[in-house]
């Protein structure tokens, strides 16, 4: 019985210890990172956070923002929108100057309302189109929304691949739905015939029926809009069934994780990506090397997003000249940060008045087990 009492005391101790945390000095600026460190979004969220921490350490080593050091607390949303909302609330209670995160759109759409009410600028890694369509003056993207990324592919399908019939395989969640709707509209606009429209579940393991359906439809190319793990499963199945048409994705399909998971099956897949870790841009190459050195693994585009998000806060705050949340948000609207003057941005980046972002993007292909940039798409 002694042991059980010990358990009880230990549990009570843990419960009581919770609220007591060391006090923090006043001469810091708090930029908490609310993101997906566990659950379905852990890969994206962890990269986002790690990228952001590299920027924080660099900025602090160079004297901070306007002389104040950045303190970045990590808050794990478990990829759960309700928890993410509670945590944004918590970040605001703790006096956040700005908030980094979240990455999954389903979370961002909920928690951005809280940040908006409190007037705290928020830098999200989400790409669902509706995020910047809600008239929220405090939300800023760190990568382009799907409504910008997908149209960049239209020209590729029409002019380069010259297809008349196309299929789409998409994941039926908020991310996939956003891309799907834009894609269907775009194909209609340019007169390409959508012959197969195949939705799948998040976490779906078996894509044999999906691929079979696409094969039978006679599509000349497939637009694959899935999350990373599903991408890999789809690619494997496509190879197994001998689907010999170009497989084209947006953002995820040529990511390093997909290539690793799909093995040889990813060879020859194309994707348009807003941020390519393989981009032949010296600043990006340097960042990717820094990331690898610090964490011992490769980053995906989310690491870059976290990194530039923190730098955007620094540059815009220094332009304002003081720590004023509202002024920071107003400054960022319509701002262009030139990468030659502001190296932390890696690429020249602009925000419009909705917080939507634009910068040049890349066409990539998987060659020899690596993502290779085959072309650049100008900022739109």
Which residues here bind another protein, judged by CB under 8 A? 1, 4, 7-8, 11, 14-15, 17-18, 21, 37-38, 74-76, 78, 81-82, 85-87, 89-90, 92-94, 106, 109-110, 113, 128, 130, 172-174, 176-177
Q: Is the dihedral of CA 118, 119, 120, 124 positive or negative?
A: positive
Query: 66: closest CA among 309, 323, 249, 288?
Result: 323
**Alpha-carbon span 356 to 127, nearest angstrom:** 10
Q: How far is the CB of 116 from another protein (least distance, A)?
A: 11
Q: Which residues pair with 33 in a beta bridge?
A: 74, 100
Question: CB-wise, 74 or 285, nearer to another protein?
Answer: 74
Q: How far is the CB of 133 from another protein (least distance, A)?
A: 11
Question: CB-wise, 85 or 148, nearer to another protein?
Answer: 85
Question: CB-wise, 89 or 376, nearer to another protein?
Answer: 89
Q: For the chain, state the CA radius of gyration.
A: 22
Helices (H), strands (E): how many in the chain?
A: 12, 17
Q: How far is the CB of 110 from another protein (least distance, A)?
A: 4
Q: How far is the CB of 86 from another protein (least distance, A)?
A: 5
Question: CB-wise, 131 or 281, nearer to another protein?
Answer: 131
Question: CB-wise, 85 or 301, nearer to another protein?
Answer: 85
Query: 123: closest CA among 302, 288, 305?
Result: 305
Q: Residue 133 to residues 23, 130, 139, 248, 373: CA-CA distances in angstroms?
A: 39, 5, 10, 27, 31
Q: How far is the CB of 98 from another protein (least distance, A)?
A: 17
Question: CB-wise, 197 or 360, nearer to another protein?
Answer: 197
Q: Residue 76 to residues 33, 41, 93, 191, 255: CA-CA distances in angstroms?
A: 9, 10, 16, 44, 24
Q: How far is the CB of 236 from another protein (least distance, A)?
A: 25
DSSP secondary structure code for residue 285 in this structure: H
């Amino acid at each position: 019985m002694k042991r059980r009492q010990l358990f009880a005391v230990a549990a009570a101790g843990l419960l009581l210890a919770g609220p007591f945390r060391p006090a923090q000095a006043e001469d810091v600026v708090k930029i908490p990172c609310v993101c997906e460190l566990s659950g379905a979004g852990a890969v994206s969220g962890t990269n986002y956070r790690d990228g952001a921490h590299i920027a924080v350490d660099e900025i602090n080593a160079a004297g901070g923002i306007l002389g104040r050091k950045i303190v970045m607390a990590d808050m794990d949303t478990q990829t759960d929108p309700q928890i993410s909302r509670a945590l944004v609330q918590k970040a605001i209670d703790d006096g956040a100057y700005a908030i980094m995160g979240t990455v999954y759109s389903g979370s961002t759409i909920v928690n951005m309302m809280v940040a908006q009410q409190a007037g705290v600028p928020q830098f999200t890694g989400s790409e669902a189109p509706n995020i910047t369509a809600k008239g929220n003056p405090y939300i800023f993207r760190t990568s382009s929304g799907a409504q910008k990324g997908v149209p960049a592919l239209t020209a590729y399908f029409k002019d380069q691949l010259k297809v008349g019939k196309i299929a789409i395989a998409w994941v039926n969640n908020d991310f996939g739905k956003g891309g799907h709707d834009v894609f269907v509209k775009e194909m209609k606009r340019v007169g390409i015939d959508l012959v197969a429209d195949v939705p799948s579940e998040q976490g779906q393991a078996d894509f044999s029926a999906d691929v079979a359906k696409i094969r039978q439809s006679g599509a000349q190319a497939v637009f694959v809009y899935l999350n990373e793990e599903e991408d890999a499963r789809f690619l494997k199945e496509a190879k197994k069934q001998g689907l010999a048409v170009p497989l084209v994705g947006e953002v995820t399909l040529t990511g390093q994780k997909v290539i690793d998971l799909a093995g040889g099956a990813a060879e020859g897949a194309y994707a348009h990506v807003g941020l390519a870790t393989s981009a032949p841009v010296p600043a990006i190459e340097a960042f990717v090397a820094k990331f690898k050195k610090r964490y011992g693994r490769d980053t995906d585009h989310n690491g870059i997003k976290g990194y530039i998000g923190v730098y955007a806060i620094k540059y815009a705050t220094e332009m304002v000249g003081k720590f004023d949340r509202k002024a920071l948000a107003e400054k960022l609207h319509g701002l262009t940060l030139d990468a030659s003057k502001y190296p932390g941005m890696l690429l020249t980046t602009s925000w419009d008045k909705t917080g939507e972002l634009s910068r040049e993007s890349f066409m990539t292909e998987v060659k020899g087990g690596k993502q290779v940039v085959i072309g650049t798409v100008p900022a739109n």
